[in-house]
Amino acid sequence: MVACALCGLLALALPARGAFSGGRESLVFSRYSSVDSAQPLPGSRILLLGQFSEGPEPSLAELRPDGSVDTDFGDEGVLEIEYADVAVDRRGRILLTSSRRISDDSSDLTVTRLLPTGNLDTSFGTGGTATVDLGGRMDGGSAVYVQPDGRILVGGFTANVEDRGRSDGFAVIVRLLADGTLDRSFRRGGRGTLGRHAPLVEEGIVLDFAKGPRGSTYAALGDEGQMEIVRLRPNGKLDSSFGDRGGVTVGGFNAIPGTEFFAPISKIGVLPNGRLIVAGTVSGNGVSYAPAVLRYRQNGLLDRGFGNGGWKIARFKGETFAQSFALQRSGRVIVASSTHPNAGNSSYLSLDYFRPDGALDRRLGRRGHTSIGGFGHWSHAAAVVLQRPQRAVIIGSAQDETRPYGPNRIVLARVPLKAHRVR
């Protein structure tokens, strides 16, 4: 995997001041730039994942604590590189999982590690990249996670694509040691399929990982609209004491009483007390698209002490679509969304704050909801990350609505997580 980058595009585009001057600001990378997600970095820095070059290739950008672009990262602040998912270890090194094409109909799973500067970490794998053949024709990575002990979990998919368009694909999990070699103590020689444990999503992929109790790990698998969460023991075997024989199905029809459909975000989180958090968007039966949070106990059952028997909906005017969430150590859940106040004629960024008991925190925003406008007619949320002390940064994209159309903008707003009032 070769990292290439922009050549001089940022010199005219990036503002010299911090992006949080005045609490909110826009960054212009290229005409068609967009952000898909973000990762917190050590020292309150932020790693942006999306498209920041003139071409269609995925890329990374790094922000300083004040929101300005760190031009020491990559090439003038942007690194153009293939990835499906990104994780950051305690030393600030960046791990990316993807796939490497072997031939026209064959690929292997890859993990690449970068130094905090964006340069390849040549001490990892072979020249900075570890390659794993999962046994199928089409192998690829979809999620990466660094365990507390430094070992690396990678989730993905392996399949044999047949001439008639059928496949025998399964979700798969691999564990690597910190140097990029396979951890032979994990499952069967460092790897194993999970399809037989998740029959509802057997042709799905691994979406996310999170820390479980006593050295275990949660893995979220699925496809669009539905997700299954399983818990793995330290050796990679299924923990049958969790949920229904090791798994919990999240989302779909009738998932939350009084609504028709719940579409979870492809992300899971765990609070310091071990409770498992899932967030997403509910609709139907009088609910016109609203964010919702579900909390599970360590045994996989809904936590009845949260909200309305384990779930809570943030009902506000307009159609609101949850995009990401962040967790505070206090147990508060912050959900970032895109809100359409007038049935899709415009949109703005918004944050909803759920207290540890599931109720909306009315001390923040307006009754627990902060609307963030001022970025133009169309603004779409992508991520929320936490910064010290007690601040949330919501990140998204904005587009002009009138001619002549300007370049897309990456928009950011920093909001205090203490009593405040924002329209």
pLDDT digits (tens, 9 = 90+) for 89-140: 999 999 999 988 887 778 889 999 999 999 999 999 999 999 998 877 888 8
Count of residues for the chain?
A: 423
Q: What is the pLDDT of residue 161?
A: 63
Continuous segment of H or E residues that includes residue 396: strand 391-399
**What's residue 406's pLDDT?**
67
DSSP symbols for 102-152: EETTEEEEEEEEE-TTS-B-TTTTBTTEEEE--SSSEEEEEEEEE-TTS-E
Specify whether the CB–CB gap between 128 and 121 falls below 8 A.
yes
Query: What percentage of the chain carries pLDDT values higher than 90?
Result: 60
pLDDT tens, 5-30? 333 223 333 333 455 767 888 888 88
Q: What is the mean pLDDT of the chain?
A: 86
Which is it for strands 94-103 and 85-88: parallel, antiparallel or unpaired?
antiparallel
For residue 411, pLDDT beyond 90? yes
Radius of gyration of the chain (CA): 21
pLDDT of residue 97: 96
Q: What are phi and psi of 316, to 5 degrees?
A: -135, 165
Stated pTM of the model: 0.90
- Is the pLDDT assigned to residue 177 strictly greater than 80? yes
Contacts of residue 250, defined as CB under 8 A and 6 or more positions apart, other chains included, come to: 226, 227, 228, 229, 262, 264, 278, 294
* Cβ–Cβ < 8 Å for 384, 402: no
**Mean pLDDT along residues 378-389:** 93
Mean pLDDT for the stretch of residues 72-79: 90
pLDDT at residue 234 in the model:
93
DSSP string, 174-221: EEE-TTS-B-TTTTBTTEEE-GGG-GGGTT-EEEEEEE-GGG-EEEEE
Burial letters 274-290, b for 16+ CB under 10 A, else e? ebbbbbbbbbeeebebb
Least confident of 65-74, 130-139, 311-320: 130-139
Residue 222's pLDDT band (cuts 50, 70, 90): confident
The answer to whether the beta carbons of residues 327 and 333 sit under 8 Å apart is yes
Spatial neighbors of 270 by CB under 8 A, at least 6 apart, are 210, 211, 212, 218, 276, 277, 327
Q: What's the confidence (pLDDT) of residue 168?
A: 62
Structure tokens at 3: 């990292």
Question: Per the structure block, which two tokens stand in for 409?
Answer: 């903008």
How distant, in Å, are the alpha carbons of 167, 206, 349 from that of 202?
11, 10, 35
